[in-house]
Chain A
Amino acid sequence: MSKDRSTSKTSELKLEVVEKKEGSLSLRLAGSFTAKTAGAIWQEIETLRQDQKPRELVLDVAALTYLDMTGVAFLRDLKQFQESSKNVFKLNGLRPEYQNLLDLATRRSSPQGAPKIAAKVSFIESLGRSVVKTGEGIYEQIVFVGSVISQIFYAAFHPKSVRWQDVWIFIEKGGANAAPLIIMAGFLIGVIMAFQSALPLKQMGSDVFVANVVAFAVLRELGPLITAIILAGRTGSAIAAEIGTMKINEEINALTTMGLEPVRFLVVSRMMGILFLAPLLTVLSDFFGMLGGMIVFKSFGYSATTYINQITSTVDLGDVLGGIFKSIPFAIAIGAIGCLRGLQTKTGASAVGESTTSSVVTGMVMIIILDGVISAIYYALGI
């Protein structure tokens, strides 16, 4: 219904070509010229003008009942195009109140036509710029991680300088609330590992070793890794989004002018929190991973005691602690990257989204790199 009405409104604006001959064009507009009605007719007149290139363009607007600023823009453009090409433009019958608006629109010397678009950058220039930018980014990250670590050491020796209240809130939000997800992921990883390893092991008739495989993989590698990935996706991104929002709301500036160092005020409490959380959540994930493995193991017809015996015979304390220890460098990377990306947030709402994405991406990459380095070190040390 309303569609019909709007189309009938569109037809309210009418264009009549009064005279069209060599060098002169005379047009008459009737009806109401608004943003909604102008579309087709603006285009039509523009085409006419470009085809004819009239020496003299006469536009009769006496029959216009209404003209909004879109109409004013149209008249101004027509006038300016004609006059800039040293042609004549005659506007007949414009009501005085609209004439006022047209004067207002032409009073200030605005740049001709559409505003220009920013100059294009050549490929080589953009390549150079991105190299410099990447270099600056890496430099900034190194400086930031350094300052964070020094602040943490300072906090360790001056525990009163830490806002413990914030630390506990962070631990609740990033740890207690993440526990169900970590339990689920850890448990399923255990189940999956057990099933996957059972297939080749059964072929050799040695499916009792499923327990060894699960324990070894979960404790040394998958437990800490899954925990770190969940922390990066859940907690690291939350840190970046929260600090980023504070940045665009000028809260970071407010902290600075209050004499509170943002790194100490915001970063240290979060780093303390995540450093405390990561090993605990890793233990949780390890435990439920092995539990998942055990359930599958029992379904093969073995007892829980066999499972535990198998595990204790292969895995020693070094494996367990080695896995848990890994979570500490992961936590430093996740927390520091989350905070850094948050503080690097530029202005505008989309900047917060960019920081959050970037914190997760950089966090994941750092986790994988660190994992590789740590595995190599463990191998060399024989842990």
Chain B
Amino acid sequence: MAQAATEKIIEVKDLTAGYGDSMTFDAISFDVKKGEVFVILGGSGCGKSTLLKQMIGLYQPWSGEILIGGQDMVKAEGKGRLEVLNRIGVMYQSGALFGSMNLLQNVMLPLEEFTHLAETARRSVAALKLMLVGLQGFENHMPSEISGGMQKRAAIARAMALDPKILFLDEPSAGLDPVTSAELDQLILKLSRGLGITFVVVTHELDSIYTIADRVIMLDKKTKKIIAEGDPKFLKDHCENENVRNFFNRRVSKDEL
């Protein structure tokens, strides 16, 4: 276990990226270790979601390397790329469920395409994934017929369809009620501890960060660098950077606003 914990599953090396002429990241580097829950933090507009999209290969970086399980995401093409992609699951901020399919079909789609499971087995697996996120009984609903929070949970279920080794979640708990949000945190921990799934999460919810995060990085809009890295409970009081402490202690300084 100790050995597994130190094994790097994602390595980002000197990543420089941006949109058009404006740079978002200036040569940032970090690692995600196998089995940990890794949280990307930062103020609005600092490029958290962009970083996530760089890591899953949706955007091309200007320079730098992104290695997922040792394979270069940036240069991967064809079969190699598919292999990397099958190892990861992504939940998008808005859910991105396929509107023409019901929830069960949404979750079953990757199973249909990438496994040899029989129809009943696929149904059963998909139904279990939906149950895990608390959506049992909604299998035949269309995405448009359920609430935003439920769409989010269904999107997590779909991201988990192939039991990927790495799950990327873009703001999973935003828009969920506190109970569901806490349940989701527990689910993340269970999957992480039980199955050894690595999580890369973009989130703002402090409660959630303290519960799930093994390690965080915090991005800064001005310097375009990582300004803090480590255990959130430690950073909260001991980080040298005041902005970082402010972020973690927001609840305390709320009165001043």
* Residues of A bordering B, CB below 8 Å: 2, 34-36, 38-40, 42-43, 46, 68-70, 72-74, 76-77, 97-98, 100-101, 104-105, 108, 110-111, 113-118, 346-351
Which of A2, A69, A101, A350 has a CB less than 8 Å from the CB of B125? A69
B155 interface hit (Cβ, 8 Å): no
Please list 15 pairs of residues, one from A and one from B, whose beta carbons are closer than 8 Å in the complex, sorted by A's number.
A35-B115, A39-B115, A42-B121, A68-B163, A73-B124, A73-B127, A73-B128, A101-B195, A104-B132, A105-B132, A108-B131, A110-B136, A114-B124, A114-B127, A347-B144
**How many residues in B have their beta carbons less than 8 Å from beta carbons of A?**
39
Which residues of B99-148 have CB atoms within 8 Å of chain A's CB atoms? 99-100, 104, 111, 114-118, 120-121, 123-125, 127-129, 131-132, 134, 136-137, 139-140, 142-144
B116 x A72 contact (CB < 8 A): no
> In the bound complex, what is the Cα–Cα distance between A40 and B116 (angstroms)?
7
B115 x A114 contact (CB < 8 A): no
B162 interface hit (Cβ, 8 Å): yes
Majority SS of interface residues in chain B?
helix
A35 x B80 contact (CB < 8 A): no
Q: Which residue of A lies closest to B160 (CB)?
A: A69
- Whole-angstrom distance from the CB of A116 to the nearest CB of chain B? 8
Which of A35, A39, A101, A347 has a CB less than 8 Å from the CB of B99? A347
- With a cutoff of 8 Å between Cβ atoms, the chain A residues found around residue B116 in the complex are 38-40
A42 x B190 contact (CB < 8 A): no
B127 x A110 contact (CB < 8 A): yes
- With a cutoff of 8 Å between Cβ atoms, the chain A residues found around residue B124 in the complex are 73-74, 76-77, 113-114
* Residues of B bordering A, CB below 8 Å: 79-80, 83, 99-100, 104, 111, 114-118, 120-121, 123-125, 127-129, 131-132, 134, 136-137, 139-140, 142-144, 160-163, 190-191, 193-195
A97 x B194 contact (CB < 8 A): yes
- With a cutoff of 8 Å between Cβ atoms, the chain A residues found around residue B79 in the complex are 2
- With a cutoff of 8 Å between Cβ atoms, the chain A residues found around residue B140 in the complex are 115-118
Q: Which residue of B lies closest to A350 (CB)?
A: B100
B194 x A105 contact (CB < 8 A): no
Seed contacts A76-B124, A101-B194; 17 additional CB < 8 Å A-B pairs: A35-B161, A36-B114, A38-B121, A39-B117, A39-B118, A42-B118, A43-B118, A68-B195, A69-B132, A69-B163, A69-B195, A70-B163, A97-B194, A101-B195, A113-B120, A114-B120, A115-B123
B144 x A74 contact (CB < 8 A): no
Inter-chain residue pair count (beta carbon < 8 A): 107
- Whole-angstrom distance from the CB of A119 to the nearest CB of chain B? 11
Q: Which residue of A lies closest to B161 (CB)?
A: A35
B127 x A35 contact (CB < 8 A): no
A2 x B80 contact (CB < 8 A): yes
B131 x A35 contact (CB < 8 A): no
B137 x A2 contact (CB < 8 A): no
Majority SS of interface residues in chain A?
helix
> In the bound complex, what is the Cα–Cα distance between A116 and B139 (angstroms)?
9
- With a cutoff of 8 Å between Cβ atoms, the chain B residues found around residue A38 in the complex are 115-117, 121
A348 x B143 contact (CB < 8 A): yes
- Whole-angstrom distance from the CB of A121 to the nearest CB of chain B? 15
- With a cutoff of 8 Å between Cβ atoms, the chain B residues found around residue A43 in the complex are 118, 121
> In the bound complex, what is the Cα–Cα distance between A217 and B124 (angstroms)?
65
> In the bound complex, what is the Cα–Cα distance between A328 and B137 (angstroms)?
53
- With a cutoff of 8 Å between Cβ atoms, the chain B residues found around residue A73 in the complex are 121, 124-125, 127-128
Q: Which residue of A lies closest to B195 (CB)?
A: A68
- With a cutoff of 8 Å between Cβ atoms, the chain B residues found around residue A115 in the complex are 104, 123, 127, 139-140
Q: Which residue of A lies closest to B104 (CB)?
A: A115
Q: Which residue of A lies closest to B99 (CB)?
A: A348
A72 x B128 contact (CB < 8 A): yes
- With a cutoff of 8 Å between Cβ atoms, the chain A residues found around residue B195 in the complex are 68-69, 101
Query: Taking A68-B163, A69-B160, A111-B136 as contacts, is the C-beta distance between A348 and B142 under 8 angstroms?
Result: yes
- With a cutoff of 8 Å between Cβ atoms, the chain B residues found around residue A98 in the complex are 194
Q: Which residue of A lies closest to B123 (CB)?
A: A114
Q: Which residue of B lies closest to A353 (CB)?
A: B100
> In the bound complex, what is the Cα–Cα distance between A117 and B119 (angstroms)?
14
> In the bound complex, what is the Cα–Cα distance between A280 and B78 (angstroms)?
51
Q: Which residue of A lies closest to B100 (CB)?
A: A350
- Whole-angstrom distance from the CB of B99 to the nearest CB of chain A? 3
- With a cutoff of 8 Å between Cβ atoms, the chain A residues found around residue B163 in the complex are 34-35, 68-70
Q: Which residue of A lies closest to B142 (CB)?
A: A348
A35 x B193 contact (CB < 8 A): no
- With a cutoff of 8 Å between Cβ atoms, the chain A residues found around residue B104 in the complex are 115
> In the bound complex, what is the Cα–Cα distance between A46 and B128 (angstroms)?
18
> In the bound complex, what is the Cα–Cα distance between A156 and B163 (angstroms)?
62
Which of B118, B123, B129, B139 has a CB less than 8 Å from the CB of A69? B129
B129 x A42 contact (CB < 8 A): no
- Whole-angstrom distance from the CB of B123 to the nearest CB of chain A? 4
- With a cutoff of 8 Å between Cβ atoms, the chain A residues found around residue B99 in the complex are 347-351
- With a cutoff of 8 Å between Cβ atoms, the chain B residues found around residue A70 in the complex are 115, 117, 125, 163
A111 x B121 contact (CB < 8 A): no
Query: Taking A98-B194, A100-B194 as contacts, is the C-beta distance between A69 and B128 under 8 angstroms?
Result: yes
- With a cutoff of 8 Å between Cβ atoms, the chain A residues found around residue B83 in the complex are 2
- Whole-angstrom distance from the CB of B10 to the nearest CB of chain A? 19
